[in-house]
Chain A
Amino acid sequence: MTSQILGDNEQRPGEQCEYLMLEFSPLSAPLQSRWRNNGLSADFLGDYVTTFLPANRDIAASGRRQNEIRHAVTYIANELLENAMKYHQRGINIPIGIRLELSADNITVTVSNGVGFDGAQSYKSYVEGVLKEDPNDLLVRQLENSSAKEDSTKSCVGLLTMVNDYGAKLGWRFEVNAEHSETMTVTTRAVLHFEHYPGEAA
C-alpha cells in the first residue's frame, strides 16, 4: 500500500476557498537555530486569518471571536510545525510545508513532512490509538504520565490539546514519497469549524 488515510477526511473538491502556502527547505539550518521560525510563521498565519474575519457591528463580540480564532490558528500551526521540524527525516530534500485554507464554514491547517518508514509506522500506530480513545481522558493521562518521564516530546500533548481544547478535527495521510521511495510523506490536517467559535460569521 502506498497511501493510507486516518481520522477525519472530509474532502470537498472544487470548493472555492482562500489559501496560503509556505514551504521550508529542510537542509539549510540546524533545528535549534530555526526553532523561532515556527513561532514567526504561526503568528503570521494567525494574523493573516483575521483579514478574512473582520471585527464589525457588535465590536466587542466580533473582536473577541476574531481573537479566539486567531489564537487557535496560531496554536495549531505552531504545534504542527514544531512536530514536523522535530520528526522530519534529516538529510533528504523534501520540503516541510504548511497550508492554510479558509472556506465558508471552516479553517484548515495542513502540515506535511518527510519521515522514514519506521518513524511513519510508529506515528501511525500512535494515531490509531488516539482515534480509539476519548481525547480528554487520554490528554489527562498523558499529562499525568509525562511527570514520570524525562522526555515528553512523544506524548503528543500538542495533538490532543488541538482536539480537546480547540475542537479541531484531525486527519492524517501517509504516502510513499514520489521522488524518494525510501521515505514517507506524512500530512497532518486540522480543521477548525466556525460553529465552535460562536459570534458573527466572517
Chain B
Amino acid sequence: MKNISGESFEIRMEEPLTVFFKGALRLSGADEYLPILEMLKETLVNPAEPIVLDLRELDFLNSSGITMFSRFVIEARDRTGVNLHFLASESIPWHARSLKNLQRLMPALEIRLG
C-alpha cells in the first residue's frame, strides 16, 4: 500500500488496483502534482487488471489537478487494453461538471456517478 498526503488531502493506493482520493487538491502546478501522477502511472504496469480511481471523497480539484488527471488518462488511453474506471459522486458538483472532459480524451473511460 502506498500513500501520498498533504494538509488538505490524502491519496491511498490499495490492491486490487484502486486509488482512493480524499479532501481538497489545490497544489500549485505540474511539478507538485508529479508524485501523484507517478503513483497513478504505477497502476498501468499490468494492463490486464481493471484500475479504479475512487474520487467519491475528493471534494475539490483545481485546474492543475484536472491537467494531472488528463495526463494520466492519456497515458492509459495510449496503452492497449487498459480498463479504467472513475468512481464519482453526484453530491460533489465538480464531478459531473468536469470529469466528462476526461471522457472526451478517452471514450472508453467509465465514470460511475453514484
Q: How many A-B residue pairs have CB under 8 A?
A: 82
In the bound complex, how far is the Cα of B68 from the Cα of A147, in angstroms? Answer: 8
In the bound complex, how far is the Cα of B92 from the Cα of A165, in angstroms? Answer: 14
Known A-B contacts A146-B67, A155-B67; A38 and B93 likewise in contact (beta carbons under 8 Å): no
Chain A residues within 8 Å of chain B by Cβ, number: 34
- The answer to whether the Cβ of A152 comes within 8 Å of any Cβ in the partner chain is yes
Within 8 A of A (CB), among B29-72: 29-30, 60, 62-64, 66-67, 70-71
Q: Are B105 and A72 in contact (CB under 8 A)?
A: no
- The answer to whether the Cβ of A134 comes within 8 Å of any Cβ in the partner chain is no
Residues of A with C-beta under 8 A to B75:
147
Known A-B contacts A146-B71, A147-B75; A158 and B63 likewise in contact (beta carbons under 8 Å): yes
- The answer to whether the Cβ of B3 comes within 8 Å of any Cβ in the partner chain is no
Residues of A with C-beta under 8 A to B93:
67-68, 71-72
Residues of A with C-beta under 8 A to B98:
161, 165
- The answer to whether the Cβ of B24 comes within 8 Å of any Cβ in the partner chain is yes
Name the distance in Å between B91's Cβ and chain A's nearest Cβ: 7
In the bound complex, how far is the Cα of B25 from the Cα of A78, in angstroms? Answer: 12
Q: Are A157 and B63 in contact (CB under 8 A)?
A: yes
Question: Is the contact region of chain A dominated by helix, strand, or loop, or is it mixed?
Answer: helix
Q: Are A140 and B104 in contact (CB under 8 A)?
A: yes
Q: Are B101 and A36 in contact (CB under 8 A)?
A: no
- The answer to whether the Cβ of A27 comes within 8 Å of any Cβ in the partner chain is no
Closest B residue, CB atoms, query A67: B93
In the bound complex, how far is the Cα of B27 from the Cα of A82, in angstroms? Answer: 10
In the bound complex, how far is the Cα of B101 from the Cα of A144, in angstroms? Answer: 10
Q: Are A32 and B28 in contact (CB under 8 A)?
A: yes
Name the distance in Å between A109's Cβ and chain B's nearest Cβ: 15
Among B62, B63, B98, B101, chain A packs the most CB atoms within 10 A around the CB of B63
Q: Which of A32, A72, A82, A139 interacts with B62 by CB under 8 Å?
A: A82
Residues of B with C-beta under 8 A to A143:
66-67, 70, 101-102, 105
Interface of A toward B, CB cutoff 8 Å: 31-32, 35-36, 38-39, 64, 67-68, 71-72, 74-75, 78-79, 82, 86, 139-140, 143-144, 146-147, 150-153, 155, 157-158, 161, 164-166
